[in-house]
Amino acid sequence: MSFTLAIVGRPNVGKSTLFNRLVGKRLALVDDQPGVTRDLREGDAKLFDLRFTVIDTAGLEEVTDDSLQGRMRRLTERAVEMADICLFLIDGRVGVTPSDEVFADILRKKNAHVILGVNKAEGRAGDGGAIEAWSLGLGEPVRMSAEHGEGLDDLYHMLRPLAEGYAERAAADAPVVDVDVPEDEADLEADPDAHKPSLKHPLQIAVIGRPNAGKSTLINKIIREDRLLTGPEAGITRDAISVRADWLGTPIRIFDTAGMRKKARISDKLEKLSVADGLRAVRFAEVVVVLLDVEIPFEQQDLRIADFAETEGRAVVIAVNKWDLEDEKQEKLAELKEMFDRLLPQLRGAPLVTVSAKTGRGLDRLHAAILKAHDVWNRRITTARLNTWLGAMVEAHPPPAPGGRRIKLRYMTQVKTRPPGFVVMCSHPDDMPDSYRRYLVNGLRDHFDMPGTPIRLTLRGQGDKNPFKDRKFHTPSRLRKHMDKKG
């Protein structure tokens, strides 16, 4: 059985700590300062034999205007309406506050199933708060300590009867990257649609970039709902939030990440945690969309971010946002392409797409570019085709002969996908210059239509090697004298 549980409450009552406890991982950022969580974060939770989806929410505050806190509150209220069950947390050491009473009234009107949890109630310090919680009129409170894992059995007995009857929902599966290709299967014609996204294995996309580039706005437009918190303020997003959706017929799981500034400018501990969370999202993704601001594209930090995605072996798509603000579109597009080719040669041929997250213009082209990049990232090439190509490349441009010894390229095969990885058997692999490696990689891109995707090329030596060739042995003096006598 499966259901959705939303954890709500005032700031700093321990919602994210309990969320991490239920999912069994440190997914949500946790800090002593209040207001760390701003977006809705979903996770697959496990409590004994119960399997369900848990939602971590921003702290409820008595603000109803269009300020950042007001937008956070509206997002949390939306999560309450989405959820099957709400767990309303209060701080057992502080007791019931006037804000708790206001929010208890709101929850009674919005959700039929509300469980009252008294967190931080370990020991005698939480006795007063647990007794006061009865006054909220939400039934018997559950005493717990999210930090120490206390009270989870009581929570289980409260959830168990409510969980009956809820439909089962599919859980998100981690993507498979860096896939080995066995040599006996490398020559077989693989199913070209085997890697296509499905409901069970959605396409994993991470959107990364500098602060205020429009990442959250872009994702809201893609999923066609105001799921992520947006606004004119830079640095609103803190957690790497994942959302499942259907985008033009493609099942996706898309990650919104915190804006990444230069390391020297980051002094706040929370911002460091946010950036680290975003980097983990990149490692979890299959395709990374590097979002640039059209007014200040390809700054040094943009180049670092794109290079990190390529280094991690992910398919990369460059998207230039706020295209609706540009007047001279043709001239600007030519300038962007020239800067891209010059500043990011390691991503030569990767898609460059102009979009407007505000109006939704260009999202169909972005969707097509992501699917193509994903297809290339999964491409397999048979050994026969590779060796025919290798012979032509060597004939057109023979490898160098350092020290008078010609390097011979004997055999080539593909050993990995996601990203494509190749091994070339050759003589003297350590003497191969980087320029010839680049010649082979660029040839692979051009001949087999693999623009932009990371390509891993490994040179490996062939032939029998004597393991004792370079080892020096110490001959005892008695044996040396005996050998001298024998002549």
Residues belonging to the binding site for GTP are 9-16, 56-60, 119-122, 209-216, 256-260, 321-324
Closest to 72 in 3D by CA, of 228, 289, 274, 262: 228
CB 408 within 8 A of CB 427: yes
Instruction: Name the amino acid, one letter, at 265.
Output: R
Say if residue 190 is exposed, middle or buried (CB neighbours under 10 Å; 0-12, 13-18, 19+).
middle
Residues belonging to the binding site are 9-16, 56-60, 119-122, 209-216, 256-260, 321-324
CB 333 within 8 A of CB 320: no
Beta strands across the sheet bearing 315-321: 241-247, 250-256, 203-209, 287-293, 315-321, 352-354
Quote the longest CA-to-CA distance of the chain. 105
Buried b (16+ CB within 10 A) or exposed e, 270-297: bbebbbebbbebbebbbbbbbbbbbeeb
Integer Cα distance of 302 and 95 in angstroms: 47
Integer Cα distance of 112 and 133 in angstroms: 19
Integer Cα distance of 321 and 251 in angstroms: 23
Integer Cα distance of 287 and 353 in angstroms: 14
Closest to 377 in 3D by CA, of 187, 173, 196: 196
